[in-house]
């Protein structure tokens, strides 16, 4: 269903290329407390950590929850599951995206392809949790 983004192997290399913070060598201006630094998605989501992955979604399983194909998911493999969380699970050796319901250890897994129409995920073998989705990154540009 989904796969890791092709650039997730280069996380540590990209962090090494980030600019070093500016060091003040003289009298600091009083306005430096209001100085805005560059926006870094890597710093915001914790890229470079071994438990953070980017996944490109190619399923409409959660379109009812406004998570669409081509959205980029930031998945934390170390996060604890909880009721209402969005997760990547392995069902019969296939990765799937779903919503978790219930309390541990009796979780149920749901998809919602259309708003208000929940469907339980069935398994013939086993279901195991792969990671919890912490953020969804969406390209909002309109292409003509």
State yes or no: pLDDT of 25 exceeds 80: no
Task: Give the three-state DSSP class for 100.
Answer: strand
Contact 17, 11 (CB under 8 A): no
User: Which stretches within 1-144 are classed as H helix?
Assistant: 11-16, 41-45
Does some domain include residue 144?
no
CATH number at residue 34: 2.10.109.10
Identify which of 121, 116, 143, 5 has the alpha carbon closest to the alpha carbon of residue 70.
5
Does some domain include residue 142?
no
Q: Which two tokens stand for residue 4?
A: 């890791």
Does some domain include residue 143?
no
Mean pLDDT, residues 11-15 taken together: 59
What confidence tier does 14 reach under pLDDT thresholds 50, 70, 90? low
Contact 59, 117 (CB under 8 A): no
What's the structural domain count of the chain? 1
Kindly report, residue by residue over 68-95, the tens digit of the pLDDT.
888 999 999 999 999 999 999 998 888 9
CA distance 63 to 115: 7
Mean pLDDT, residues 15-43 taken together: 70
Place of tokens 């379109």: 63
- Burial-class residue 96 by CB neighbours within 10 Å (0-12, 13-18, 19+): buried
Does some domain include residue 109?
yes
CA distance 109 to 111: 7
Q: Which two tokens stand for residue 142?
A: 């309109």
CA distance 30 to 112: 52
Which residue range is the domain that position 132 belongs to? 3-137
Q: Which two tokens stand for residue 6?
A: 């092709």
Does some domain include residue 110?
yes
């Amino acid at each position: 269903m989904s796969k890791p983004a092709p650039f997730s192997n280069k996380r540590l290399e990209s962090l090494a290329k980030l600019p070093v913070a500016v060091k003040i060598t003289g009298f600091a201006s009083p306005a430096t407390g209001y100085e805005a630094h560059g926006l870094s998605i890597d710093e915001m989501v914790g890229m470079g950590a071994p438990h953070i992955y980017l996944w490109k979604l190619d399923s409409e399983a959660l379109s009812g929850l406004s998570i669409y194909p081509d959205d980029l998911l930031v998945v934390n493999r170390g996060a604890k599951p909880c009721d209402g969380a969005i997760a990547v699970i392995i069902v019969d050796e296939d990765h799937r995206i779903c919503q978790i319901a219930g309390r541990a250890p009796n979780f149920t897994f749901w998809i919602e392809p259309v708003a208000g129409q929940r469907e339980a995920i069935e398994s013939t073998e086993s279901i195991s949790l792969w990671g919890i989705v912490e953020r969804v990154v969406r390209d909002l540009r309109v292409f003509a």
